Amino acid sequence: DAGVIQSPRHEVTEMGQEVTLRCKPISGHDYLFWYRQTMMRGLELLIYFNNNVPIDDSGMPEDRFSAKMPNASFSTLKIQPSEPRDSAVYFCASSFWTGGLYNEQFFGPGTRLTVL
Amino acid sequence: GENVEQHPSTLSVQEGDSAVIKCTYSDSASNYFPWYKQELGKRPQLIIDIRSNVGEKKDQRIAVTLNKTAKHFSLHITETQPEDSAVYFCAASWDTDKLIFGTGTRLQVFP
């Protein structure tokens, strides 16, 4: 398996533009997580899905952020309109449950977003 | 609410010495405690984890200990090497599907 795939790897945009980040989880994984990493705030969980259904979006900072998972192999995180304070590395991660036990989250390579 | 505190924020050691990173958690219902290593410009990767029914776990030079009474767990790296230099994150799960991460420890190993 290629692991978790994210695109683009780097994104530079101007304030006010729409940004869409993409993620393909590991095949067979039923959980997908979106994180944001900054020096100031560390690694923050934004939202996560189980079997394509959003379970907890309490970490989404504002209404400008939205996430979807239309099928088991694809998810998007959208920021509209983008602001300079959204500049960060955005990670997608996936995992699966077996027998009620928590399992490792596998992270993608991340998308480095810069909003000018 | 759910919270994980991690100390120290930075740690410098000489090659061959040991390094210890400590984390405390707020909810006694926590039952899963992984440690992730993130090298510069790379993704976080799991290096070791422990579940609440175990007090200690070792994997070569790395060990994790868990004290459920005190609600803290620690990462121990022995015989440190320059390639151990990275940011280390602890995390905890509260019987839910999500992890709460600590703020990270930047470990520098000097040759």
Using DSSP's 3-state secondary structure scheme, residue B41 falls into coil
Q: What is d(CA B6, CA B31) in angstroms, rounded to the nearest whole number?
A: 17
CA distance B16 to chain A (A): 29
Could you read off the pLDDT tens digit of each residue along chain B, which spans 111 residues?
Answer: 678 999 999 999 999 999 999 999 988 888 889 999 999 999 999 999 998 888 899 999 999 999 999 999 999 999 999 999 999 999 998 766 788 899 999 999 999
pLDDT bin (cut points 50, 70, 90) of residue A99 is low
Cross-chain residue pair B34–A104, CB shorter than 8 Å = yes
Degrees (nearest 5) of the Cα angle B74, B24, A59? Answer: 120
pLDDT given for residue B29 in this prediction: 81
Mean pLDDT of A14-27: 97
pLDDT for B1 equals: 65
Query: For residue B65, which amino acid is it?
Result: T
Among the ranges A3-12, A58-67, A93-102, which has the highest mean pLDDT value?
A: A3-12
Res B53: pLDDT: 81
Cα B14 from chain centroid (whole Å):
19
Over residues A86-113, mean pLDDT: 90
Query: Most B CBs within 10 Å: which of A5, A43, A45, A96, as the mutation test of the B interface?
Result: A43
Chain B residues with CB under 8 Å of a chain A CB are: 31-32, 34, 42-46, 49, 51, 89, 93, 96-104
Cβ atoms of B66 and B54 within 8 Å: the answer is: yes
What confidence score (pLDDT) does residue A60 get? 95
Helix, strand, coil percent content, chain A, rounded in steps of 5: 5, 55, 40
Q: What would the mean pLDDT of A101-115 be, rounded to a whole number?
A: 91
Interface test with A, best of B3, B23, B43 (most A CBs within 10 A): B43
C-alpha distance from A88 to closest chain B C-alpha (Å): 12
Q: Do A102 and B46 touch (CB under 8 A)?
A: no
Are A105 and B104 an interchain contact pair (Cβ–Cβ within 8 Å)?
no
Nearest by CB: A105 against B31, B99, B100: B99
Kindly report the nearest CA distance between residue B96 and chain A, in angstroms. 9
Query: Is A55 close to B49, i.e. CB distance below 8 A?
Result: no
* Percent of chain A at pLDDT exceeding 70: 96
Q: How far apart are CA A26 and CA A20, in angstroms?
A: 20
**What does the pLDDT look like over A30-50, one tens digit per residue?**
999 999 999 888 899 999 999
CA distances from A68 to A51, A71, A109, B14 (A): 12, 9, 19, 47
Contacts of B89 in chain A (CB under 8 A): 42-43
